[in-house]
Chain A
Amino acid sequence: MKLLENGKRLDGRALDEIRDVKIETGVLKRAAGSAYLEWGNNKVLAGVYYPREMHPKFMRDPTKAVLRCTYNMAPFSVDDRKRPGPDRRSQEISKILSEALSSVVLLEDYPDAGIDVSVEILQADAGTRCAGLTAAAVAIADAGIPMRDLVSSCAAGKIDGEIAVDLMKDEDNYGDSDVPLAILPRKKEVVLLQMDGKMTKEEFKKAYKLAFDGAMKVYEVQKAALLSSMDSVEGGE
């Protein structure tokens, strides 16, 4: 399958162009904080509960809270029905998302407690771990849980021998390689970096740079979503 034509991709994007990202906060009334994110054709819903008593008890930590993230794909999120329930892939993603988020939330404020974050993929179009992490960070901020920074995320990959940012489904399926990256935009620290497929060192460096710039663009969308949700809080009637 030909993925590139005259330097343009299947959906007309340039190699360094990310898909449109839209974020809305406070969409769930029962959760402490929530965010709905649309990233190209990805649709993600993230919800957070306030810190609460941690169960099971043996997982408690008297020095800090334990943050648990659950990533789940809806059965209708992909072309072939996805068998519901946790599988190898979603367990892996749950784990890496928990670890990435644990590095920014001020967990020391809530000893012995547990913070549950759930990420539901309603529609998948490649890059769902990045989309899920981005939405989860906004949801936690929306809940008013203290954090050192937001987490922004973006992927890059190799298609038809060229390095491109933010792969979509066909590019991910028929491309050569995929590198998801998540950063703390303020300190420019990396909290998630994986690679699927093969790349040379030079290609990797280029992919890293593209994913990093993409994540910084996503950061701007996250900030705007958080600030605009507060505008409505402020005004009287």
Chain B
Amino acid sequence: MTIITNMLFSFLAAASFGIMFNVPKSLLLKCGTVGMAGWMVYYFLSENQVDPLLSTVAAAFTIALIGHIYARVYKTPVIIFTIAGIIPLVPGGTAYRAMRSFVQNDYNTAINLAAKAFMISGSIALGLILSDVLYQLILRRKVPASK
């Protein structure tokens, strides 16, 4: 049940973000699936006690990979798919708790949480980069030109 709720809501969240970013109507559902795939990777890994940083890297990697495939199939910039997909991974909750600790003069906790949020942002970036590198190494060589 929780799996289905998670799938449904991550799909809805990514598609809604697509609307806010004015993604063309025909691509909204694809944005949703990218977001859903990324979140489910993150969800399964973090539920199985994998380190959140590693889960984030894997999720961002999946998002960018599917994004690249969609971009090639539908001949649109990859950015359309990755942005909406990335949003669920952004450490908003951690950043918020860090901010709250700062305000409450609890600097030790605050620095801890801020560092964690920073590391997770870095992991998202790393996942995206890994996927870009893989795409350039493999996919681009297989299907040359026609960009």
User: Are both chains from one complex?
Assistant: no
Give the A-binding residues of B (Cβ under 8 A). none
